[in-house]
Amino acid sequence: MTERRSLASGDVLARRYELQDLVNERHGSSTWRAHDQVLNRNVGLEIISSADPRAGHFLDAARESTSVTDPRFLRVLDLIEDEQRHHLVVREWARAFPLDQLLAQSPLPNRRAATVVAEVAEAMAHAHEHGVYHRRLTPHQVLLKQSGAVRVVGLGVATALAPVGRQDTLSDLQAYEQLDVQAIGKLLYASVTGRWPGADVDGLVAAPAEHGRLLRPRQVRAGVSRDIDTIADRILGSPPRHHEPPLRKAADIAHTLRLSGEDDDLHDDQPSLAAISSPDLLRLDPVIVPGGPPPGLEPPRRRPKAFEPAPPTTFERGKQKARRAAKGDRGLVLLGVAGALVILSLLGFLVSRQTDRAADPIDDSSPVRVLPVQRAVDFDPQGEDGRENRDQARLAIDGLPTTGWQTSTYLGSPELGGVKDGVGLVLDLGGLREVDSLRLRLAGSPTSIVVYAASEDTDRTPRVRRGLTDVATVDSAGSDASISLRSGIVTRYLVVWLTSLPEVEPGVFRGEIDDVVVRGRS
């Protein structure tokens, strides 16, 4: 076991940086998310053993990368030498989505892909001007923040981890620049097709080729604009088709992408490839906007019909039909029918009021029984998007013990990795009920649980814990938990809040609710 393996979540380096989550380990170095206890913020730590022959070069390369001041690169905040037998590079931490996660859902629309890749190209052009190269640019190195801002990580890491004693020549630097330019072209290709030119990278399948030549994006996926198709070919084509001039500078790529448009007519002018048996060709799956953040700095889209009057709405068309029907004697008939309906509605309202006065909403003498749960919704007030596997929430009340709702995966500690106080489900009983107990079927153990109840006047599904009352707490529950609630609780909404999760793999924690049964009186 190497020395860098001795570091673990919870260790404090340089008396201020507390290690929290191990992000990755590669090429003899490791990257951690850490908490700066002095400034109360998250930072990224790149760590290499001080015994590694490349350790000094590791710090020198990070020091040189500070000359690149483009805000799209995560800044170096501190360099620390020989801390617990490790060298540290402290960088900014970005709460963002890696591009490869979005492409795993679906390729990006044309305009969004052009905007994101143009941002990356502009950042790389700035780095190249200062003689700094990435050399490992893939979708996992491109981050999209919730605000839409683009961030590029890993700048200079490949250079920092190069073999000791290697001296880069002018031809080497030119090759590094072209390597980055080719990577930008591959990013554009992958963004609109979901395929990576060359070998499989970051979970993306390799792009198809014909007779040893990469197929153009419009040949792989329907709906790719001609501009993006041409730009990708000008970067990756050897040589580009149709005698187009090649793009060999990151700045030129960024400028060309900013000028690109989105075709009004996406009719494919490529030759038919229907006779080719490859399933990769002419995929007709629709372009779906992923659930991630929108790209920033998106230029306005041209809309030629913006000044035409809007077509009549359904309400307006119905009003015109009613006016035509009310002309002549038919108007008197309609007026009589409308008057009769008003009288009947008034009588029904008066009868219902008398019935409501006589009815008791909750019969205290009725026996405790199983209460139907009308709806289950995920409850994640501390998440960035307020969602935690929302599409699975209904599985917790489907009555099937083999299906259920899972939390996200958290690293480092059972208390949700220290990033949240908890997550859970909101149970909608459909109306005010006197609740008595809960029975939860959980996957794994132990799981700590707090049950909250909304006040009687709550008429909307709770999204925050403010206004909720703690009615039960269970520490270290097993896979089958029966929970008795405080007596006299009348509510429509119950919140099952998980505060500590079971370990599913070493250092990996995830909770799961497979079934919920609520008992009480209605």
Pick the last residue of a domain from 226, 259, 292: 259
Q: What's the pLDDT band for 272 if we cut at 50, 70, 90?
A: very low
Q: What's the pLDDT band for 310 if we cut at 50, 70, 90?
A: low
pLDDT value, residue 269? 44
Residue 386: inside a domain: yes
Average confidence score pLDDT of the chain? 81
CATH number for the domain spanning 48: value is: 3.30.200.20
pLDDT of 48-72, one tens digit each?
888 888 888 788 888 888 888 888 8
Tell me the mean pLDDT in the region 220-238. Answer: 90
Residue 337, pLDDT > 50, answer yes
pLDDT value, residue 296? 43
Tell me the mean pLDDT in the region 476-491. Answer: 89
488 and 374 assigned to the same domain = yes
77 and 191 assigned to the same domain = no
Residue 205, pLDDT > 80, answer yes
pLDDT value, residue 299? 42
Q: Helices marked H in 274-328 — which ranges?
A: 314-325
The tally of domains found in the chain comes to 3
Residue 264, pLDDT > 60, answer no
101 and 240 assigned to the same domain = yes
Q: What's the pLDDT band for 510 if we cut at 50, 70, 90?
A: very high
Q: Which residues pair with 210 in a beta bridge?
A: 213
> Which amino acid appears at position 77 of this protein?
L
Minimum mean pLDDT among 22-31, 86-95, 159-168: which range?
159-168
pLDDT over 70, % of the chain: 79
Residue 269: inside a domain: no
87 and 157 assigned to the same domain = no
pLDDT value, residue 345? 80
Q: Peptide bond before 414: cis, by omega within 30 degrees of 0?
A: no
Q: What's the pLDDT band for 186 if we cut at 50, 70, 90?
A: very high
CATH number for the domain spanning 418: value is: 2.60.120.260
Contact 157, 176 (CB under 8 A): no
Tell me the mean pLDDT in the region 397-404. Answer: 87
Q: What's the pLDDT band for 501 if we cut at 50, 70, 90?
A: very high
Distance CA 215, CA 281 (A): 9
240 and 253 assigned to the same domain = yes
Pick the last residue of a domain from 60, 75, 92: 92
Measuring CA to CA, which residue among 67, 285, 98, 122 is closest to residue 193? 285
482 and 393 assigned to the same domain = yes
Give the 3-state secondary structure of residue 379. Answer: strand
Q: 17 Cβ partners below 8 Å, 6+ apart?
A: 34, 35, 36, 37, 43, 45, 88, 90
CATH number for the domain spanning 189: value is: 1.10.510.10
Residue 88, pLDDT > 50, answer yes
Q: Is 264 exposed, middle or buried (0-12, 13-18, 19+ CB in 10 A)?
A: exposed
Pairing of strands 142-145, 150-152: antiparallel
Q: Which residues pair with 480 in a beta bridge?
A: 441
Is pLDDT larger for residue 292 or for residue 224? 224
109 and 47 assigned to the same domain = no
Residue 407: inside a domain: yes
Residue 141, pLDDT > 80, answer yes
pLDDT value, residue 359? 39
pLDDT value, residue 257? 92
pLDDT value, residue 331? 65
428 and 514 assigned to the same domain = yes
Measuring CA to CA, which residue among 70, 80, 111, 103 is closest to residue 12? 80
Residue 181: inside a domain: yes
104 and 250 assigned to the same domain = yes
Residue 428: inside a domain: yes
Residue 295, pLDDT > 60, answer no
CA 121 to chain centre: 23
pLDDT value, residue 30? 86
Tokens of 67: 């000359």
67 and 137 assigned to the same domain = no
Contact 379, 495 (CB under 8 A): yes
114 and 153 assigned to the same domain = yes
Pick the last residue of a domain from 215, 237, 259: 259
Residue 290: inside a domain: no
pLDDT of 153-170, one tens digit each?
878 766 656 555 566 788
Measuring CA to CA, which residue among 60, 301, 233, 19 is closest to residue 157? 60
Range of the domain at 25: 3-92
Tokens of 246: 């090649």
Residue 295: inside a domain: no
pLDDT value, residue 248? 92
Distance CA 234, CA 214 (A): 12
Residue 407, pLDDT > 80, answer yes
Written as one string, the DSSP assignment of 451-473 is: EEEE-TT--S---SSTTEEEEEE
Tell me the mean pLDDT in the region 246-265. Answer: 81
398 and 516 assigned to the same domain = yes
What 361-367 contacts at long range (C-beta under 8 Å, 24+ apart), as own/partner pairs, is: 361/431, 361/432, 362/432, 362/433, 362/434, 362/490, 362/521, 362/522, 363/521, 363/522, 364/434, 364/521, 366/521, 366/522, 367/521
pLDDT value, residue 158? 60
Tell me the mean pLDDT in the region 35-46. Answer: 92
Is pLDDT larger for residue 355 or for residue 312? 312
Residue 337: inside a domain: no
pLDDT value, residue 241? 78
